[in-house]
Amino acid sequence: MDATNNTALLKDVLEANGEEHLYNKIVELSVHVEAEPPVIFGWQHVEEFIRAIETARTLAAGPGGEPLPAAPLGLPEVVTVQNFKEAVLDYATVPEALGRLNTTCLPCTMAQYGNVAARLAVLDLNLWIRRVLDVAMQSMPIAFVYITRAQSRTLDRVMMRRPDSLWGN
């Protein structure tokens, strides 16, 4: 990732995610990026965020603990890296979109992409998310979110950079 330019290479993101096998499929989807931009998640501090969820749950259940607000992701009682990533992508997916590609890519139309970005921005503000982040700010970001450039294997970050965002600063 080039932090100054907010870019990354598709190959590098897929390798970091352990999903190199998706390379050709995402390149194929990227041919029509102006109309159908695949949204790519470059996962970062997921394990730390899961530990923060566990800590927040424990504190809420303990003596004098304040109950957590309703969780937006529909997570099971036992959260794993895999089911957490799936829950985030399922949350971001709009109903009429194609299904996700493993835990890295959401194929979508331009209109759906706008909805995905909006859903991710709203998730940043969710009260449950904020309570979890109060426990462990070092668990951020959980992912950088990208779309592919036309005729390129370069990815551009698409979420606004904020220091307290799930999607990176």
- pLDDT tens figures, 26-70: 988 888 888 888 999 999 999 999 999 999 999 999 999 999 999
Average pLDDT over residues 151-155: 86
Sheet holding 154-157, edge to edge: 7-9, 154-157, 143-148, 39-43, 105-106
Average pLDDT over residues 88-94: 93
Residue 169 pLDDT exceeds 90: no
Average pLDDT over residues 141-164: 87
Average pLDDT over residues 128-135: 91
Mean pLDDT of the chain: 89
> Where residue 1 falls among pLDDT bands split at 50, 70, 90?
low
Q: Are strands 39-43 and 105-106 parallel, antiparallel or unpaired?
A: antiparallel
Residue 76 pLDDT exceeds 70: yes
For 51, the token pair is: 């530990």
